[in-house]
Amino acid sequence: MSAEDSADQIADAIKTLATHVKYLGVGNAATPMGAIEYLAIQIREGSLALQSLASAAGKIASAIEELAAASREGNDKLSEIANSIADAATELKEGRPGAAR
């Protein structure tokens, strides 16, 4: 084997290795993106889902607060329950569930 053949084999091996490193973590997916790009997309999609979940939790908390405010107009026990609901809703909105317990 000549030195030129050896150099060609080394170059081919480096090209193959570079291709595999580029797609590392993406498996056999038919995509031109590399693993880091793929990971970034997955993180962005997860972040959007979490934002949607946080928005929904905020809306639920607001509804609970409104219910609590309406319930305060009843008797003392109902008012006590309404205060507990309002506290829990505030904790949820502020992202600290169970903090006041």
46-85 residue pLDDT tens:
888 888 888 888 888 887 787 777 777 666 667 777 777 7
C-beta atoms surrounding 86 within 10 Å: 19
* Domain edges within the chain: 1-32, 35-101
Who wins on pLDDT, 96 or 16? 16
pLDDT of 101 reads 43
pTM > 0.85: no
2 three-state secondary structure: coil
With bands split at pLDDT 50, 70 and 90, how would you rate the model's confidence at 100? very low
28 three-state secondary structure: coil
The structure tokens listed for 51 are 């934002």
For the segment 16-40, the average pLDDT, to the nearest whole number, is: 71
Identify whether the C-beta of residue 54 lies closer than 8 Å to the C-beta of residue 97: no
As a whole number of angstroms, the distance between CA 76 and CA 78 comes to: 5
- Compute the Cα dihedral for 75, 81, 87, 92 and give only its sign: negative
Residue 3: what residue type?
A
